[in-house]
Structure 1
Amino acid sequence: IFEYDEKTKAFVDERTQLNGTKSDFAPVERDENEKFIYDSTIDLSALEPTVACHPDPGNRKLAREMTDMKLDRAYIGSCTGGKTSDFLAFAEVVRGQEVR
C-alpha cells in the first residue's frame, strides 16, 4: 500500500484534470491493526524499463539488454486503466521520430 501524500494528490489531481474525470474521492488509508501474510518494500527508484518480447508479454527483458535489437515495428498499448492522456503523452515523446 502506497501512502497517499501531497505528491500523490498532485499527481492524481493533474491526471484527473487531463482526463476530465471526477477527482472527488476519499483516499484509502492503512488500518494500523491490519495483518499481512508478508510485508515487502520495493525501492521504486531501482526499477528499470522492460520490454515485452515475442511471443508472450510475459517474456520480458531489461531495455538495456536490448541494445543490439533492430526495431522495425512497435506496438503501443496500455493496461486496463489506460487513459487517452497516456497515449497523448507517448505521442509527444515520439513526435517526429521514425521506426526504420
Structure 2
Amino acid sequence: MRLPTAATTAGSLIGGWQLARRTGNRPLGGVVLAVGGVLAGREWARRTSPAVTAALAATYVGAFGLSHPLAKRIGAWPSVLSTAAFTAAASYAAADRRAPRRATRPSG
C-alpha cells in the first residue's frame, strides 16, 4: 500500500503541534513529528533518489523550524497550516504524484 507522504507530513506537523498545545507536553508533540518524518522518509527513500529524499527531509524539518518564528508574525494556526501545506505540496510534487500511464499499442 502506498503511503501518501503529503498527508503524512501535513498531518504530523498539524497533529504534533495540536498534541503539544493541548497537553502542554512538547516532547509528546515531537514524537508525533518524528514518527511522521520516519514514515514519510521511508516512502521517499523507496520512491525517489537519495538527493530528493534528503531535500524533502530538510523541507520537513525546516518547515517545523520556520513555523515558530512565523507564528510570531501571523499567528499559530496560520503558521502551522502554511508550513504544513508547503511541505505537503513538496512531498506530493516530488514523491506522491504519479506520471499518467500511456497506452501502448503493439507495433506491426
TM-score between both structures, scaled by the size of structure 2: 0.28
Higher helix share: 2
TM-score between both structures, scaled by the size of structure 1: 0.29
Q: Which of the pair has more CA radius of gyration?
A: 1
Higher strand share: 1
